[in-house]
Amino acid sequence: MPIFEYDCPDCGEPFEKLVRLRNGVADKVACPSCGSTKVKRKLSTFAAKSSGKSSAFSVSDSSASSCSTGGS
Protein backbone atom coordinates (compact mmCIF):
# COMPACT_ATOMS: atom_id res chain seq x y z
CA MET A 1 0.00 0.00 0.00
CA PRO A 2 1.29 3.42 -0.91
CA ILE A 3 1.87 6.22 1.52
CA PHE A 4 0.53 9.54 0.30
CA GLU A 5 1.26 13.01 1.52
CA TYR A 6 -1.65 15.28 2.28
CA ASP A 7 -2.22 18.88 3.16
CA CYS A 8 -5.12 19.95 5.33
CA PRO A 9 -6.64 23.28 4.24
CA ASP A 10 -8.43 23.67 7.54
CA CYS A 11 -5.57 23.50 9.99
CA GLY A 12 -2.73 23.66 7.47
CA GLU A 13 -1.18 20.53 8.84
CA PRO A 14 0.70 18.31 6.42
CA PHE A 15 0.59 14.61 7.15
CA GLU A 16 1.29 11.25 5.63
CA LYS A 17 -1.22 8.48 5.37
CA LEU A 18 -1.04 4.90 4.36
CA VAL A 19 -3.88 4.61 1.90
CA ARG A 20 -5.77 1.58 0.80
CA LEU A 21 -6.68 1.43 -2.84
CA ARG A 22 -9.97 0.01 -4.00
CA ASN A 23 -10.14 -0.53 -7.74
CA GLY A 24 -7.42 2.03 -8.13
CA VAL A 25 -9.31 4.61 -6.10
CA ALA A 26 -7.88 5.80 -2.83
CA ASP A 27 -9.97 5.61 0.29
CA LYS A 28 -11.21 8.79 1.83
CA VAL A 29 -8.68 10.38 4.12
CA ALA A 30 -9.36 12.58 7.08
CA CYS A 31 -6.96 14.94 8.78
CA PRO A 32 -5.57 13.36 11.96
CA SER A 33 -5.44 16.75 13.63
CA CYS A 34 -8.89 18.25 13.01
CA GLY A 35 -10.73 15.44 11.26
CA SER A 36 -11.39 17.41 8.10
CA THR A 37 -11.97 15.38 4.97
CA LYS A 38 -11.19 18.27 2.66
CA VAL A 39 -7.55 17.32 2.65
CA LYS A 40 -5.65 17.60 -0.57
CA ARG A 41 -3.19 15.02 -1.71
CA LYS A 42 0.20 16.34 -2.62
CA LEU A 43 2.00 15.15 -5.68
CA SER A 44 4.20 12.29 -4.70
CA THR A 45 7.81 13.29 -4.76
CA PHE A 46 9.00 10.30 -6.71
CA ALA A 47 6.53 10.97 -9.51
CA ALA A 48 7.38 14.64 -9.64
CA LYS A 49 11.05 14.16 -10.25
CA SER A 50 11.15 10.86 -12.10
CA SER A 51 9.81 12.12 -15.40
CA GLY A 52 9.33 15.54 -16.89
CA LYS A 53 7.14 14.47 -19.79
CA SER A 54 4.03 14.28 -17.66
CA SER A 55 4.32 17.83 -16.44
CA ALA A 56 1.13 18.70 -18.30
CA PHE A 57 -0.73 16.69 -15.70
CA SER A 58 -0.49 19.48 -13.17
CA VAL A 59 -1.11 22.26 -15.65
CA SER A 60 -4.64 23.31 -16.33
CA ASP A 61 -5.31 23.30 -20.04
CA SER A 62 -8.70 24.93 -19.81
CA SER A 63 -7.24 28.25 -20.87
CA ALA A 64 -5.92 26.79 -24.09
CA SER A 65 -9.34 25.75 -25.33
CA SER A 66 -10.44 29.26 -26.21
CA CYS A 67 -7.39 30.94 -27.62
CA SER A 68 -8.50 31.45 -31.22
CA THR A 69 -11.62 33.56 -31.04
CA GLY A 70 -10.22 36.73 -32.53
CA GLY A 71 -12.07 38.10 -35.57
CA SER A 72 -10.87 40.83 -37.86
**Residues in touch with Zn ion (CB under 5 A):** 8, 10-11, 13, 31, 33-34, 36
Residue 11 or 48: the one with the smaller Cβ distance to Zn ion is 11
Residue 11 Cβ vs Zn ion, minimum distance, rounded to whole Å: 3
Residue 10 Cβ vs Zn ion, minimum distance, rounded to whole Å: 5
Residue 33 or 54: the one with the smaller Cβ distance to Zn ion is 33
Torsion angle in degrees (nearest 10) through CA of 37, 50, 52, 28: -10
DSSP state of 44: P
Of 34, 28, 29, the closest CA to residue 12 belongs to 34
